[in-house]
Structure 1
Amino acid sequence: MVNPCATRRCFVAVAALLGWAGLSIQLYLILYSRWSIEASLLGGLMSFFSFFTVLSNTLVATVLTCEWTSRPSAMRRWFLQPWVASAVAVSIAVVGLTYSALLRHLWHPEGWQFLADELLHDVMPVLFLGYWWWCVPKGTLRLRHIGLWVIYPLLYFAYSLLRGHELAVYPYPFIDVDKLGYPQVFLNAAGLLVGFVLISLVVIGLDRWRHSSSLSSRRQ
């Protein structure tokens, strides 16, 4: 007979390892590229963490690792809170959907870059949403949590504009002020923020539905 706990732990372990693998491959590729042209490796590290995809996947891998490990800690308790894990689920869903809708057609990676690309934009969003659906406790999310969740993309947007202003380098074409201008960039950002909020509403709705379904099945 299959042990549900063992299956869950195995799933989380594999997902966590794949998350860190995708991040590691992408970091290696960026640093190797910088080293090849004798550019600053520190600059490469800063470039690596300038992408919303990388930051969100780092949060995903962290939550999964906290779930996988059993040693109690303040960090583990924080990341395993349902509202925190749900915020990460919304963010990684935005990563996957935005990439598929706006960025996938712009390039055709090969080799290791293709592997990193698939892991960070396709595999990890699906795996983490599966983790959220099956493993994160339901019934505690409220609409007020959206106000906390949007702080992350807003801070990221502000940081990207500041960094772009100083270095003239923007992580994504839809927030490239030099090419699009501030009005269009703010319009694009507003559209993405609306998408973020809509996905948040869907997550909260699913949370409530799953909780209600669970209560109904227990009463029967």
Structure 2
Amino acid sequence: MSLRALLRGRRRDPAPTRLARTAWLGAGLLPLAGCASSFVIGASKGTPVFEGTSYRGGFEAGWGNVLNQPAYFTWCSNAVVAVTSLVLAAARRAPRSDAFWAVRAAGLGSVMVTGLVYNTVLRGHGQDTLLYRANDAVQHVVNPLLAPVVWAAFDPRGQLNRRRRLLAAALPLTWTGVTMARGPRVDWYPYPFLDVKRYGLTAVSGVLAGILTLFSGLLMGLTEADRLLSAHRGDR
């Protein structure tokens, strides 16, 4: 086959529509606002104290607690969704790299884990101000629903594969490693189910393994949904 035929047969991805860019922009700015409001909350109040936990560390209101906000899986997952959504909104064409789509998958899987874990285990704790309640709603309810909906409606299909799902696991694994190494040093964990002194390392490890399994299962579900959406679009 000639070079001209190869070039002629090579298809370029179409430029995103205005509606897609608007959706990605909204799906990026909303979690960005949630992350920013977390800094404001950190400046005005200390870390929450969960009843029954054995750890006694934490951070008082101020710069220490502002800088501590990325220690929360909620903050990390929303930040990754924000960045990848804004990249898609700004790019002339969707990125093709494994790195970008692995990070995109990591954000989607992580923010869905955030929504599921928070709303089944942690909901209702410490929502004592209007800003706190708004932050809670945005980061734990709205974004975990909005991110996969925008992905399904507007992200280019065929971007999830086994390699990228494996790379995406680096986000929860890194967060877990840093959190568990840092916890004994500061005598504080971002979530009560990570209380090693109370529950023991084996039990906490089991919980973390369960969360990672949930993360992997959600990405597998997105991959299957991606396949079905691709087939549906091909039929039209």
TM-score (norm. length: structure 2): 0.78
Structure 2 distance, partners of 1:170, 1:51, is 9
Higher helix share: 1
Which one of 114, 125, 129 corresponds to residue 144 of structure 2?
125
What are the within-5 Å matches in structure 2 for residues 182-201 of structure 1?
A: 182-201=201-220
Match of 1:63 in 2: 84
Q: 1:115 aligns with which of 134, 148, 163?
A: 134
Shift of 1:40: 7.6
Confirm or deny: 8 A CA contact 1:82 1:140 kept in the other structure: yes
Larger RCO (CA under 8 A, 6+ residues apart)? 2
Q: Look at both structures and tell me which one has the larger radius of gyration over its CA atoms.
A: 2
Of 2, 5, 10, 2:22 maps to 10
Structure 1 residue aligned with 2:170: 151
For residues 71 and 31 of structure 1, the distance between their equivalents in structure 2, rounded to whole angstroms, comes to 38
SS in 2 for 1:194: helix
Contact preservation (8 Å) 1:141, 1:204: yes
User: 2:145 is matched by which residue type in structure 1?
Assistant: V
Deviation at 1:39, TM superposition (A): 4.9
Do the aligned residues in 1 keep the contact of 2:105 with 2:165 (CA within 8 Å)?
no
Counterpart contact for 1:60–1:128, Cα < 8 Å: yes
Distance 2:143 2:214 in 1: 19
- Three-state SS of the structure 1 residue aligned to 2:123 is helix
Q: CA deviation at 1:169?
A: 0.4
User: How many Å separate the matches in 2 of 1:11 and 1:147?
Assistant: 27
Structure 1 residue 6: deviation in Å?
2.7
The aligned runs of 1:67-106 (5 Å cut-off) are 67-70=88-91, 81-106=100-125
Take 2:118 and 2:38, find their aligned partners in 1: how far apart are those partners?
A: 16
For 1:146 and 1:80, how far apart are their aligned partners in 2?
11
d(CA) in 2 for partners of 1:77, 1:24? 29
Which residue of structure 1 aligns with residue 55 of structure 2?
A: none
Shift in Å, 1:98: 1.0
Which shifted more, 49-58 or 174-183?
174-183
Please, which runs of 5 or more residues in structure 2 have no aligned partner? 1-15, 47-58
- For residue 89 of structure 2, what is the amino acid of its counterpart? W
1:43 aligns to 2:40 (yes or no): no
Task: Tell me the C-alpha RMSD between the 2 structures.
Answer: 2.5
Residue type at the aligned position of 1:66: V
Long gaps (5+) in structure 1: none
Matched-pair identity in %: 26
User: Residue 12 of structure 1 aligns to which amino acid in structure 2?
Assistant: W
Amino acid corresponding to residue 207 of structure 2 in structure 1 = N
> How far does residue 215 in structure 1 lie from its aligned partner after superposition?
2.0
Contact 1:29 1:113 in 2 (8 A): yes
Q: Could you say which residue in structure 1 is the equivalent of 2:32? A: 20
Q: CA deviation at 1:115?
A: 0.3
1:214 corresponds to: 233
Question: 2:199 maps to which residue?
Answer: 180
Cα distance in 1 between the residues matched to 2:159 and 2:28: 25
Q: Partners of 2:71 and 2:147 in 1: how far apart?
A: 22
**Number of residue pairs the alignment of both structures matches:** 208
Partner of residue 53, structure 1:
74
Q: Secondary structure at the match of 1:49?
A: helix
